[in-house]
Amino acid sequence: MHVFSPERANALIPVLTPLVEQLWEKRRELAIRLLESDPALRAARNVPGRRPARRFTDLKAEVVHLINRIEAYGCVVKDIDLGLLDFPSIRDGRPIYLCWKAGEPQLSHWHGTDESFIDRKPLET
């Protein structure tokens, strides 16, 4: 398991941000494909000139691949929709997670391993 300092985690934010954005795009594509498969909408799928939708399995595999790429850096994808990533760390001798949400300029919060995003605290405390 990787153990991150805030500086090391923050150095990865520029690398991870585009991967999270790609993950969001693939997740949106999958959600759209699921909606299009609704029997009530099937007639709309057969519009001439419309390109066939990608298969569920291909899109699911791409989502899983992106999650694996992100987690290969040592962090944990906690919530795809919010873009929440946790970085294992140590604070006062106990394991914690440094917590980053996509869109934040840098990682600046943490929470215990038995806590969640709602329990996060500023690093300065």
Total domain count, the chain: 1
- pLDDT at residue 55, rounded to an integer: 77
- pLDDT at residue 11, rounded to an integer: 97
Report the side by side order of strands in the sheet with 84-91: 76-79, 84-91, 94-101, 109-112, 121-122
- pLDDT at residue 120, rounded to an integer: 95
Domain membership of residue 93 (yes or no) is yes
Domain membership of residue 1 (yes or no) is no
- pLDDT at residue 37, rounded to an integer: 76
User: Of the candidates 105, 101, 99, 68, which has an alpha carbon nearest to the alpha carbon of residue 86?
Assistant: 99
| pLDDT tens string 24-41 | 999 999 888 888 777 766
Low pLDDT (below 50) residues in the chain: 52
- pLDDT at residue 50, rounded to an integer: 52
- pLDDT at residue 46, rounded to an integer: 58
Domain membership of residue 23 (yes or no) is yes
User: Of the candidates 106, 42, 107, which has an alpha carbon nearest to the alpha carbon of residue 98?
Assistant: 107
